[in-house]
C-alpha cells in the first residue's frame, strides 16, 4: 500500500521536521550548517517561498515554510537531495541520509504561526544545548533579536512581527518575551 498523498494549501504555512537516519548527526561541523543554508538560499532564488523561522539541530531540522507557487514536497525533495549528495560525498557515505519522508503539519490558525515559531526557536534551549537562545547560531532566532544581523533573503521576519505593534525594536522585544515565557 502506498503512502497517503500530502495535502498542499498554497496559502498556509507548514511546520516541517526532517531527521537523520538512525538519529545520527546530520551536521558534524559549522561547514555542514553553512552548506545547508547555502542550498536553502539557492532554492529560494529559484523557487521562492516564505520562511519566517528555522532551526538546524544536530540530527534534524525544523522549518516554518509556505510556498504559493511550488509544492512544498518539491522544495523539500530538492533540499534533502542536494544536502544528502553533499553530505555523502564529503563523508564518503552512500545510501539514505534521512530516516523517512519529512514530517509536515499545516498551521491552520493565525495564532499558530507565533506558537510554531516559538517552538522552533526554543529547540536548542529545550535540548539544553544553550542557555541563551541568542547564542545559538543555526536558528533564525538571532535575526529577530539583533538588528545588526544581516537577514538572509529567504527569511521573512515580517510574518511573525505583524502580530506585534510598535516599531521594529518593540516588535523584537515583544517576540523575545514571548519566546522566553515558560508555558506548560
Lowest-pLDDT choice from 67-71, 106-110, 172-176: 106-110
Copy the grid coordinates of residue 40: 536553502
Whole-Å CA distances, 177 to 24, 53, 80, 144: 33, 16, 33, 12
Q: Would you list the domain boundaries of the chain?
A: 13-180
| Residue 2: pLDDT over 80 | no
pLDDT-wise least confident of 1-5, 55-59, 115-119, 123-127:
1-5
Mean pLDDT along residues 118-139? 94
- What CATH superfamily is the domain 13-180? Transposase IS200-like (3.30.70.1290)
Provide the 10 A C-beta neighbour count for residue 165: 9
The residues, ordered by sequence, that sit 6+ positions from 129 with a Cβ below 8 Å of its Cβ are 57, 58, 136
Q: Could you identify the residue written with the cell 499558530?
A: 112
pLDDT reported for residue 111 = 78
pLDDT band at residue 10 under the 50/70/90 scheme: confident
Q: Which three cell numbers stand for residue 182?
A: 515558560
Distance from C-alpha of 32 to C-alpha of 18, rounded to nearest angstrom? 16
Residue 170 has a pLDDT of: 93
Amino acid at each position: 500500500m502506498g503512502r497517503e498523498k500530502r495535502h498542499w494549501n498554497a496559502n498556509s504555512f507548514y511546520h516541517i521536521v526532517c531527521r537523520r537516519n538512525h538519529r545520527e548527526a546530520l551536521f558534524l561541523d559549522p561547514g555542514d550548517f553553512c552548506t545547508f543554508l547555502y542550498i536553502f538560499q539557492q532554492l529560494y532564488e529559484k523557487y521562492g517561498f516564505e520562511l519566517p523561522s528555522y532551526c538546524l539541530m544536530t540530527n534534524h531540522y525544523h522549518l516554518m515554510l509556505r510556498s504559493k507557487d511550488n509544492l512544498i514536497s518539491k522544495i523539500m525533495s530538492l533540499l534533502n537531495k542536494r544536502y544528502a549528495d553533499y553530505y555523502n560525498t564529503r563523508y564518503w557515505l552512500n545510501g539514505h541520509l534521512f530516516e523517512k519522508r519529512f514530517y509536515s503539519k499545516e498551521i491552520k490558525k493565525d495564532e499558530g504561526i507565533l506558537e510554531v515559531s516559538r517552538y522552533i526557536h526554543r529547540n536548542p534551549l529545550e535540548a539544553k544545548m544553550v542557555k541563551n537562545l541568542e547564542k545559538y547560531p543555526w536558528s533564525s532566532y538571532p535575526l529577530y533579536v539583533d538588528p545588526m544581523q544581516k537577514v538572509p533573503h529567504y527569511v521573512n521576519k515580517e510574518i511573525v512581527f505583524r502580530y506585534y505593534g510598535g516599531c521594529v525594536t518593540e516588535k523584537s522585544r515583544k517576540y523575545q518575551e514571548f519566546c522566553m515565557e515558560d508555558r506548560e
